[in-house]
């Protein structure tokens, strides 16, 4: 889900609203929404759990919960996809809580550059690269999610806000607070 996901044409948005409203009374009408978002939700979950079978199971749970809760869903100008991604986030969090597995972040070398630039103004980049996985493990699940959204998935603060059901400004504030925690751990805790 990236900025272009929110920039559907008026016709696409109208069709989506029609599909949502039809699905609220007829579960069979949910198929176009399922087909439109399945791959995006699956890949989002796969990035977090890293196992295809588990990602498939969780993705199915997301769509089952969405379908079961669709009658409560209200069209308020927010993208339907944001609602699905929030369900996916909750399902992933439930999975990690139930299995007690550690939440891993897939670190892509190219995408970490902006994170490194935010954290370091000096030449300690190599040391940070080595210590980043350990620093990430010390973050709370909420902080880790913010860093992952912003720096590893390159999401805008607007997207982060939509995914977490908070304002864009608060998403930015929370992300930079998490970043500050990382900086402090890097600078102060040489044992990480």
3-state secondary structure at position 78:
coil
d(C-alpha 115, C-alpha 103), whole Å: 19
Per-residue pLDDT for the chain (192 aa), expressed as one digit of tens each? 444 444 456 677 777 888 888 888 888 888 888 999 999 999 999 988 888 999 999 999 999 999 988 888 877 777 788 889 999 999 998 998 898 887 766 666 666 666 666 665 555 666 777 778 888 888 888 898 898 888 888 889 998 988 888 999 999 999 999 988 888 887 776 544
pLDDT, the chain, mean: 81
d(C-alpha 157, C-alpha 65), whole Å: 26
Sign of CA dihedral 81, 83, 176, 167: positive
Helical ranges in 70-189 per DSSP H: 80-99, 109-119, 125-137, 141-147, 157-164, 168-188
DSSP state of 148: I
Q: Which domains does the chain have, with CATH numbers?
A: 3-99 (1.10.1740.10), 109-188 (1.20.140.160)
Query: Which pLDDT score, from 0 to 100, does residue 148 have?
Result: 85
Return the closest-CA partner of residue 186 out of 148, 134, 140, 114. 134
Query: Which pLDDT score, from 0 to 100, does residue 111 have?
Result: 61
Residues 6+ apart with CB under 8 A from 168: 157, 158, 160, 161
Residue entry with tokens 């009658």: 71
Helix axes 109-119, 168-188, angle to 10 degrees: 80
Q: Is 150 exposed, middle or buried (0-12, 13-18, 19+ CB in 10 A)?
A: buried
Q: What is the pLDDT of residues 66-84, one digit of tens each?
A: 998 888 887 777 778 888 9
Query: Which pLDDT score, from 0 to 100, does residue 104 have?
Result: 66
């Amino acid at each position: 889900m990236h900025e272009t996901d929110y920039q559907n044409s008026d016709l696409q948005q109208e069709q989506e609203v029609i599909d949502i409203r039809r699905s609220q009374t007829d579960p069979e009408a949910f198929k176009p929404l399922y087909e439109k978002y399945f791959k995006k939700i699956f890949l989002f979950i796969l990035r977090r759990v890293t196992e295809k079978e588990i990602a498939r199971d969780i993705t199915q749970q997301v769509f089952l919960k969405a379908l079961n809760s669709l009658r409560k869903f209200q069209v308020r100008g927010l993208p339907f996809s944001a609602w699905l991604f929030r369900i996916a986030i909750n399902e992933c969090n439930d999975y990690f809580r139930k299995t007690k597995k550690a939440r891993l972040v897939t670190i892509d070398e190219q995408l970490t550059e902006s994170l490194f630039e935010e954290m370091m103004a000096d030449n300690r980049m190599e040391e940070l690269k080595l210590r980043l996985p350990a620093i990430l493990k010390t973050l709370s699940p909420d902080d880790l999610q913010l860093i992952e959204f912003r720096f590893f998935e390159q999401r805008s603060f607007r997207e982060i806000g939509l995914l977490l059901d908070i304002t864009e400004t608060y998403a930015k504030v929370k992300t930079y607070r998490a970043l500050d925690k990382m900086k402090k751990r890097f600078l102060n805790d040489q044992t990480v």
